[in-house]
A = this chain, B = another copy of it.
Amino acid sequence: MGASKTEHFTEQQNQVATIAKALGHPARIAIIEYLLKVNACICSDIVDELPLAQPTVSQHLKELKNAGLIKGNIEGNSICYCIEEKTFNILKEYFTNIIFTVTNQKCC
């Protein structure tokens, strides 16, 4: 197959999975970390920063954008990509909650 049976899972499960999937590639993690580091951003910088061709970087940026992890503001000729805090907060809270639940468990 190759296609996930998303219709069988809850909306929240699909949401978390979609966000996690978008972060499931080292290039996209590197992009996020770069955006955090420079605190302001233009795509050409990102291309210079990564060991990947420009179309590939563009594609990764698109996936991060689709997952709601970054947003891009057009700024004249170039684009200012930024971290979308809201989405990262979903993850932070999701995992914080998991840790909270697990530490109160007594399994294995």
Chain A contact residues, CB within 8 Å of chain B: 4-6, 8-10, 13-14, 16-18, 20-30, 32-33, 36, 39-41, 50-52, 71, 73, 80, 82-83, 85, 88-89, 91-92, 95-96, 98-99, 101-103, 105-108
Contact = CB atoms under 8 A, between A and B. Distances in A.
Contacts of A16: 23, 29
A30 B6 CA distance: 11
A18 B89 CA distance: 20
Contacts of A51: 5, 8
A34 to B, nearest CB: 10
A27 B40 contact: no
Residue from A18, A24, A51, A83 with most neighbouring chain B CB atoms (10 Å): A24
A91 to B, nearest CB: 5
Nearest to A11: B26
